[in-house]
Amino acid sequence: MKTLAEAEQEIINDFALFDTWDEKYQYIIELGQQLPPLDDKFKNEEHKIKGCQSSVWLHCYRDNSKIYFRADSDSTFVKGEIALLIKVLSGRTPDEIKNTSLHFIDAIGLRQHLSMTRANGLASMIKKMKEYAEV
């Protein structure tokens, strides 16, 4: 498995292939479409992330001291955002998840292209994933 830094760099390299934000936006949507489906039993209030304008459900499980995430959203773009986070954070130790700064978000220009509500939603997704690492 790639290190956290390698996973982030891979995303940065992938996004460097696109010239415009529209192309990057479309790529994020495509990443969301590739996300494995989340079992309907996890699409409930218990797994819903608070603070997102769209509905986002996040399921977390542990295996051999590593944390894994599965997620879904009713928004194709938000589903792509959570796919990026899963690509970097899933399969990591709790310490790796808690201590990462997720610098790829700024490096690919994502944060600067989000509306205030989408930026708050992204922050809520990150916060929830880090909270799962605390338990």
CA separation for the pair 110, 98 (Å, rounded): 21
- Yes or no: say if 76 and 49 are a contact pair by the CB < 8 Å rule: no
Residue 98 has which token pair?
A: 């808690």
Is 121:56 a contact under the CB 8 Å cutoff?
yes
Catalytic residue among 52, 67, 85, 105: 52
60 is catalytic: no
The full DSSP string for 38-62 is: PPGGG-SGGGBPTT-SS-EEEEEEE
Catalytic residue ranges: 52
